[in-house]
Amino acid sequence: MTAVVKELNVFGKALRKLKGFAKSGVIAELDLENLRLIEEYEADLLDKGVRLSNWLIREGGPSLFGVVHERLVAMYVCAGRGIEAERHLWQMKLVGKEVSGDLHDIVLAICASQKEPEVGPISRLLTRMEASSSLQKKKTLSWLLRGYIKGGHFENAAETVIKMLDLGLYPEFLDRAAVLQGLRRRIQQSGTLEIYLNLCKNLSDASLIGPCLVYLYVNKYRLWIIRML
């Protein structure tokens, strides 16, 4: 199982590098056939990992349960599959295997980065934050924020920034900038303008940005609206 995790990790890094080259125009975009082969190879690795885990649980006995679920978490983390990783995270706890805060936060970020992030797993993973220190809360919410940013869920990211500010926690500059930039790109989508304005106001109230002048052009009336936040 360790070998499967390592292979998935190496495969994931190579795939991210390949996509980066394609995005920058160094190589052509991956076609449907190549994408299919990539998905099949990853699915095959995951299938081997699951079959190995089933064999270990069947033959190895309870003493190995914690380690097996830990490897499964690592395997699904490498594959970017948050729901499965979260499920085995709780399995680790059920069999008495200690789960580090860092692993918790990594799984949280992956759940947030999914194409359609589910509220359930994210809410469950955030429950441990209630009894944590301010420093740990900031760390956990920063992982959540970066997960949303990675997945392109800038509305959720804006809510997370505001939640951090309400708790007296200041998100990192690059994270704040990424959320603002992401919302600006979608400013014409329904509801995005209100979210953007609300985020700007909260950041301004926290003295993290200066006063904002927002320009809005209403094409129908050939009218410019200028608003200071």
> Which residue carries 């949280």 as its tokens?
108
% residues pLDDT > 70 (the chain): 100
pLDDT of 173-196, one tens digit each? 999 999 999 998 888 777 788 899
For the chain, give the DSSP string. Answer: -HHHHHHHHHHHHHHHHHHHHHHHTSSPPP-HHHHHHHHHHHHHHHHHHHHHHHHHHHHH-GGGHHHHHHHHHHHHHHTT-HHHHHHHHHHHHHTT----HHHHHHHHHHHHHSSS--HHHHHHHHGGGGGS-HHHHHHHHHHHHHHHHHHT-HHHHHHHHHHHHHTT-PPPHHHHHHHHHHHHHTTTSTTHHHHHHHHHHHHHHTTSS---EEEEEEGGGTEEEEEE-
The domain ranges of the chain are 1-99, 118-229
How far CA 90 is from CA of 83, 86, 97, in Å, comes to 11, 7, 10
Angle at 106 between CA 2 and CA 56, to 5 degrees: 30
pLDDT of 30-72, one tens digit each? 888 888 998 999 999 999 999 999 998 888 888 889 899 999 9
pLDDT of residue 34: 85
Angle at 118 between CA 117 and CA 119, to 5 degrees: 120
pLDDT of residue 106: 95
Say whether pLDDT at 84 is over 80: yes
* Section 154-165 average pLDDT: 96
